Amino acid sequence: MAFFTSLYSGSSGNCSVVRCGDEFLMIDIGKSCRATLTALKALGLPLSGLRGLLLTHEHSDHVSGLRVFLKNHDVPVYGGAATLDNLYEMGLVPPSAELIAIEGRTEPVGGFEVTAFPTSHDVPCCGYRIKAPDGAVMTMATDLGYLSDVVNENLTGADLVALEANYDLHSLRYGPYPVYLKRRIESTRGHLDNTDCAEKILELMKGGCKNFALCHLSKENNTPDMALAAVRRRVLEEGYQPDPSVRVQAQKRDEPSDWMEF
C-alpha cells in the first residue's frame, strides 16, 4: 500500500510525503529544518527511510528549510535543471550535495519511479508523477497558473491527485493584496483557483480517480471549507454521483494532514 500526506501545506510553507513500506520521498521543504523534522517524527518516519527530496521550484515557501537540512543530512535532491542551478547559485545547497536534474525522463528514486513535468509559474517549476513500489501512482501539481496539456496528461490515470486550490477568486479580488500581486496570482503564470481545481477534480472523478488532496491554500484568500465547497458545488451542478469511496481532503496549513491511502 502507498500513502500520501503533507507535513504542512499553504502559502507559508509546503512539504509533502509519499510513502510505501519503509521508504518515502519528500516533495519540497518550505519551513525550517526543525519544523520539518518535528513533523516527520510525529508521523513516525525516520530519516533512514528517506530516499530523495524532490523540489518543485525555488520560491521560499518550498525551500526555506533546504540549506540547513542538507547541511545535516545527506539526501539526494531532484528537480528541474534550472531550479537546481538557481538554488546552488543562491547558496541554498552545499557543494557536496547530490543534485540530480530529472527533466524529460523517469528516474528511479529508491523503489519509486519519478517523472517531473513542467508547470506554468513565474519561475521554472515542475510537478511530479510518482509510481510507488507497489505500482500505485500519484501526481502532485501546485504553483500553476493554468492546467496545460502536459499537466493534464500527468494527472490522467493517477490513483491519487494532489492539486493546487490556492485561492477563492472573490476573496482575492476584494481582499487586501496590492493590485500587482492580485494580477500575478490570477495570471497564467500564477496559481490555480478553487473553481478550476474543482472542474479538474470532477473530470478526474469521472475518469476513475478516487483520492484528491487540495494543496497550497492561501491563508488570506481561501479556507479549507471554501475549497471543499467548490468541489461539492461543481459535482452537484453536474448532477454527478461519485463513487462512495471517493475522498477529497484539504491539506492542513501548519501540521501533518491525515494519511491518504492510494
DSSP the chain: -EEEEEEE-STT--EEEEEETTEEEEE---S-HHHHHHHHHHTT--GGGEEEEE---SSHHHHTTHHHHHHH----EEE-HHHHHHHHHTT-S-TT--EEE-BTSEEEETTEEEEEEE---SS--EEEEEE-TTS-EEEEE-S-SS--HHHHHHHTT-SEEEEE--B-HHHHHTSSS-HHHHHHHHSTTS--BHHHHHHHHHHHHHTT--EEEEE---TTT--HHHHHHHHHHHHHHHT----TT-EEEEPPSSSPPPPEE-
Average pLDDT over residues 22-39: 98
Residue 104, pLDDT score: 80
16: β partners:
6, 27
CA–CA separation, 134 vs 132, rounded Å?
5
pLDDT at 105 over 90: no
pLDDT at 103 over 90: no
pLDDT at 36 over 90: yes
CA–CA separation, 26 vs 120, rounded Å?
22
pLDDT at 41 over 90: yes
pLDDT at 221 over 90: yes
pLDDT at 82 over 90: yes
pLDDT at 249 over 90: yes
Residue 67, pLDDT score: 97
Residue 233, pLDDT score: 98
Looking at every residue in the chain, the average pLDDT score rounds to 97
Q: Determine what percent of the chain is predicted with pLDDT higher than 70.
A: 100
Average pLDDT over residues 34-53: 98
Residue 16, pLDDT score: 98
pTM above the 0.95 mark?
yes
Residue 141, pLDDT score: 98
